[in-house]
Amino acid sequence: MNTGRSWRPLAALALGAAALSGALAAHAVYNPPIRMANGIEYMGGGGSSEEAALMQSVEPRWPASFEFAVKDGTRQVSAADVVVTVRDASGRELLSQVEAGGPFLVARLEPGRYQVEATRGGQTLTQEIELLPWQPKRTVFVWPAGVQAPRS
């Protein structure tokens, strides 16, 4: 019995499965890491279109979500290089100058009132938000045209 050729179809099948698996992995989108500061979980990202879609899909499951953009003529374009600070109603910093890591940031904040600062290119925008139980809140920060990201 000649077994020398019987392994070839199996090897080809294994190689094909490995190639398909690699191709699927190349298109997989992974969650950005969930970080924690002062007991508050947060996640930022959205740099690629796939990651942006992922961040938008998880947004309803987080109590607070923030989007960052810059005005570009008549439209808004996503802004990265944003640093965020969140203070509770008593002024205590819960998130202190955390990097958004992209145009989106979500946070597990308790119901209540907060002051949120988003800084990009040395210009800080501030918004007051109120989170109600079981009602996710989305807040958008838009800088005027010409605000540049800091240069490294």
For the chain, list the domains and their CATH numbers: 35-143 (2.60.40.10)
Least confident of 75-84, 94-103, 122-131: 75-84
pTM for the model stands at 0.79
pLDDT of residue 149: 64
d(CA 46, CA 136): 19
Per-residue pLDDT tens for 9-50?
Answer: 544 444 444 444 444 445 566 789 999 999 999 999 999 999
Cβ neighbors of 15 (< 8 A, separation 6 or more) are none
pLDDT at site 112: 98
pLDDT more than 90, % of the chain: 70
- Beta carbons of 109 and 63 less than 8 angstroms apart: yes
Residue 109 has pLDDT above 50, yes or no: yes
Distance set, CA 104 to CA 1, 9, 85, 107, 138 (Å): 63, 48, 14, 10, 10
Q: Which pair of tokens denotes residue 68?
A: 């960052």
Rg of the chain on CA atoms, in Å: 22
